[in-house]
Structure 1
Amino acid sequence: MPFAPDAPIGVFDSGVGGLSVLQHIRQTLPQESLIYFADSGFAPYGEKPEAVIIDRSLAITDFLLQHHIKALVVACNTATAAAIQLLRQRHPDLIIVGIEPGLKPAAALTQSGVIGVLATRGTLHSKKFQDLRDHLTQTTGIKVEQRACIGLASQIEKGELHSSTTSTLIQKYLTPLLNAGADAIVLGCTHYPFVIPLINDVIAQTSEPGRQVHIIDTGLAVAQQLKRRLIKTNLLTHSSDTADVTAWTTGSQSSLKTAFTQLLKMPATTIHTVVPQHIPTDK
């Protein structure tokens, strides 16, 4: 299938979390047209069986291909871990960029030899993550502490970015990592960057004065990798104008519009949200 330089880039997540990646793509490649797909009707992915996540990822990719995308960003750690290998097998000519926990950047920053990972249960239980973690520990001796943050992505999906419930969840999951000596915290879910202020509050409350704790968000690295791939394949857009973003959701149109406005500070007039009537799946 030939891909056109002025075709859009597709980005998808189980909900609004992928907007943290979209933001970096927008800043890195402002002239590129973007289609964002929020599968909010099936969110969160992190607590669902792997077969369901694979099914949704394949179906959404097919939907985006019908809109003639030239590249795909899987802006979800859980979906990347579960489905990206199969997506690449099915679409070998399509640029596909996934996201995974930033264990390597964290390993480069840690002074204590302990890094912490906050992620969904689906990501932490995936073979892709476990292989990456085991290779890191075997080759560097760095200890990886991890917590499955059950319920945190759902809170963020609801827009509860400053609530006491969200803060309590972060404190519950993050404090054991800090107490274990972690000085680099990997955000292993694209929803989590939106609550970095609450994460910093817990770090400030828990850590001794002067202790530096790094927070690792890999959204920028994904955007940079996407740019490199587009340049290599001569698929950067010919346009010099800032492009529009089109958004699709299997959930609430108004909720997604609010997320764009509140989380990305983008004018609502640039966002066009449509709820697809049906996204066919293999099941």
Structure 2
Amino acid sequence: MANSAAIGIFDSGIGGLSVARAIRELLPNESLIYVADSGHAPYGEKADDYIYQRMLHITRHLTAAGVKAIVVACNTATTAAIAKLRAQYPLPIIGVEPGVKPAVLASKSGVVGVLATPRTLLTPAFATLAQRYANQAKVILQPCPQLVPLIEALDFSGNKMQALLQSYIQPLLAQGADTLVLGCTHYNFVADLIAGIAGPDVSIIRTEMAVARELQRRLAEAGLINTDLITPDLINKGTAKAAAIFYTSGNTDIFNTQLQCLWGSADLRVTDCKTLL
């Protein structure tokens, strides 16, 4: 496989763009192919088998495009079925999971709050993760069923967003949580709002850069790092050779608006792949 092959990244929507941005920052030489499965979102309301079938479908699309690695930039998809996906495909497949371990290590009160989609919190994989640290800290789970649609709508600072975050965060603080885990990649886009509500004494645990570093490690291990010289400055100027191509199974106009807000780079190209996905 050529070192110049792209990295495939997918999510149920735009949340995985936070992971893609971290990958772009850490690995500016790498071309990216991003798939937002917005036509089948949100995954948090779907059964595990449905999510797995979507993961298979998208992975077939990405492997047909010749990607050298895949990042499942969705906590729900990772906890629902990444093990089954890895059993099907030999290339590096990197997932994301809520950062419970670093949260437990960071907590001084011994109380950790996890903000995530209801589906993520119900999966056996997450139950195993939480149980692993049950003797070290009290882990409180907070389902956030209405948060992803607001983020997808780019409603970051309205009264509804503020009220919703208050309703999710305050019960955790009332129980003594001094560390909050963002258990959905979408939530990275409202991390500052969450931090503002939680206050300066509460740590916010995000995992997108940890995912990028794990991808870097896996690529290096397999000898797949692209060594062509491309700098972040070139990318910002839109003159980098490393491409960023974006697909959506939803409405292309909406996705374009989301990209301009959350990616905003001159090196992007959007493809409507509803007929493929």
Quote the offset at 1:239 in angstroms: 1.9
Partner SS, residue 186 of structure 1: strand
* CA-CA distance at 1:260 after TM superposition: 2.2
Unaligned runs of 5+ in 1: 205-210
Q: Are the aligned partners of 1:14 and 1:39 in contact in 2 as well (CA < 8 Å)? A: yes
Residue 182 of structure 1 and its aligned partner are, at CA, apart by 0.6
What's the CA shift for 1:256?
2.0
State yes or no: 1:219 paired with 2:208: yes
Residue 57 (str. 1) matches residue 46 (str. 2): no
Distance 2:142 2:274 in 1: 36
Alignment partner of 1:237: what SS? coil
What amino acid sits opposite 1:271 in the alignment?
L
Per the TM alignment, residue 177 of structure 1 is displaced from its structure 2 partner at its CA by 0.6
Q: Note the C-alpha offset of 1:255.
A: 2.1
Aligned to 2:112: 115
The farther-off stretch of 154-163 and 28-37 is 154-163
Q: Percent of aligned pairs with the same residue?
A: 44
Checking the alignment, whether the CA contact within 8 Å between 1:34 and 1:244 is kept in structure 2 is: yes
Conserved? CA contact 1:110–1:184, under 8 Å: yes
TM-score (norm 1): 0.91
Deviations 1:63-112 (A, max 9, x none): 11110000000000000011100110001x20000000000000110000
Match in the other structure for 1:68: 66
Matched with 2:237 is none
Match of 1:176 in 2: 171
CA deviations on 1:221-252 (whole Å, 9 max, x unpaired) are 00000001111111011321341200000112
Q: Which residue number in structure 2 is paired with residue 249 of structure 1?
A: 248
1:1-283 pair list within 5 angstroms: 3-91=1-89, 93-138=90-135, 140=136, 142-204=137-199, 212-241=201-230, 242=240, 243-267=242-266, 270-279=267-276
Q: Which TM-score applies when normalising by structure 2?
A: 0.93
In the TM superposition, what is the alpha-carbon distance from 1:192 to its structure 2 partner?
0.2
Distance 1:68 1:230 in 2: 15
User: Which blocks of at least 5 consecutive residues in structure 2 are unaligned?
Assistant: 231-239
> Residues of 2 paired with 1:48 and 1:70: CA distance?
28
Question: Where does structure 1 differ by over 6 angstroms across 4 or more consecutive aligned residues?
Answer: none
CA distance in 2, matches of 1:29, 1:236: 9
Whole-Å Cα distance in 1 between the matches of residues 121 and 11 of structure 2? 17
Asked if the contact 2:9/2:33 (under 8 Å) is kept, the reply is yes
Q: How many residue pairs were aligned?
A: 267
Name whichever of 239-248 and 16-25 sits farther off. 239-248
Cα contact 1:257–1:271 (8 A) shared by 2: no
Q: Hey, what's the Cα distance between the residues in 2 that align with 1:32 and 1:102?
A: 25
* Deviation of the 1:273 alpha carbon: 1.0
How far apart are 1:9 and its partner, in Å?
A: 0.2
Alpha-carbon distance in 2 for matches of 1:200, 1:81: 25
Report the Cα offset of residue 258 of structure 1.
2.1
Question: Over the residues paired in the alignment, what is the CA RMSD in angstroms?
Answer: 1.2
> In structure 2, how many angstroms separate the alpha carbons of the residues matched to 1:158 and 1:56?
22
1-structure distance, mates of 2:196, 2:9 = 31
